[in-house]
Structure formats: structure tokens, C-alpha cells
Amino acid sequence: MPKLQYAFDEQSFHSFRSHHIQVKVAEGSWEKQAYFALRRAVFAREQRLLPDNEQDGQDFRAIPIVALAASWGMTDDLVGAVRIYQEDDGSGDSLWFGGRLCVARAYRGHAAIGKALINEAVSRAIDLGCTRFLANVQPQNESYFHSVHWRTCGELTLAGKHHVRMEANLAAYPFMARTC
């Protein structure tokens, strides 16, 4: 019997990226561990913006929101993250901040994950009584935030890097009215 040989070009195979993405609050232990691991991979290792332990005091009160990819109906990978937390600025407003928005490298520009995370973050904060929602954004992402109904309202330096303070147009985000 002749020996079979197969010839193929490895470059013709692309990494699999699920089109089934769910955005939700991180609940299980594995989701929370993967949430912090993705943030570390993006902000500490890839961007070298924050130290390897990029967690801070806000994480104790923040609500972690994640984007999960699923294959064959089973969640198998965490591909995006953002956090939201309430801040008391003394104004009487219900001020919320979003931060540490990141998407896994393989999923950037795929399935609008960043927009879905922003939508969930702002909508969830509104559902919790938010009257003003802010984020400190790296300048290269400013126009992206403009495209999803945010305006620039200042500049600041964080972790030794220039950032812009941005505010969400709350009227552009749906109120979620949770029943449970």
C-alpha cells in the first residue's frame, strides 16, 4: 500500500475565533481569574503601561464585566474585560467610572466586542442609578469612544502616560431594567 502524503500551507489556517460572544458580569471563580489574567496580559505585558500586578484599590468595589466566547454552546474563553465602579465626588451626582477596557489580541476588531463591553458597562451603571459616567482613555482610543457616543472633557496623566477624560452620553445607552 502506498504511503499517503499531505501537502498544505500552514498559513492557510487561521486561528479560530468564535462568533458566539456573551457579555456579562464575571461571576465564577474561573471568570474572575481569567478577567485579571487578560488585564495583566494587555496592560502590564503588552502595553507595559502598568506593573505586572496592575490591580488597584478600585478592584475591591468594581463590578467586573467580561466578554466570553463559546464553541458548540460551551463557554471556553474570556476574550474581553472592563470594570465599572461608583465614585463619590461630593457633587451629589451618581458618578460612575469605567476602566481597564481590553480585548484579547486575537479578538480585536472582531464581533464588536469593545462596543458590547462599553454598552454593558454604561447600561449597567445607568440601571444602578448612574447620572454621569466617565472613563480615562488612552489618546489613541479617543476617536473610537467618540464613535460610541462619548465626548472628551479633559486631559490627565495616569501611570506616567497622557490620557483623556471622556464622558458617555447616557441618553445613547439603553436602560436595562433587570428583573432579578
> In the CATH scheme, what is the homologous superfamily, with its name and number, of domain 20-172?
Gcn5-related N-acetyltransferase (GNAT) (3.40.630.30)
Which amino acid, 64?
P
Domain ranges of the chain: 20-172
With beta carbons less than 8 A apart as the criterion, state whether 172 and 162 touch.
no
Q: How much of the chain exceeds pLDDT 90, in percent?
A: 56
Which amino acid, 152?
T
CA dist., res. 118 & res. 89, Å (int): 22
CA dist., res. 146 & res. 35, Å (int): 26
Instruction: Report the pLDDT value the prediction gives residue 144, as an integer from 0 to 100.
Output: 94
Tell me the pLDDT tens digit for each residue of 36-80.
999 989 887 777 776 666 666 787 899 999 999 886 665 678 999
3-class DSSP assignment, residue 4: coil
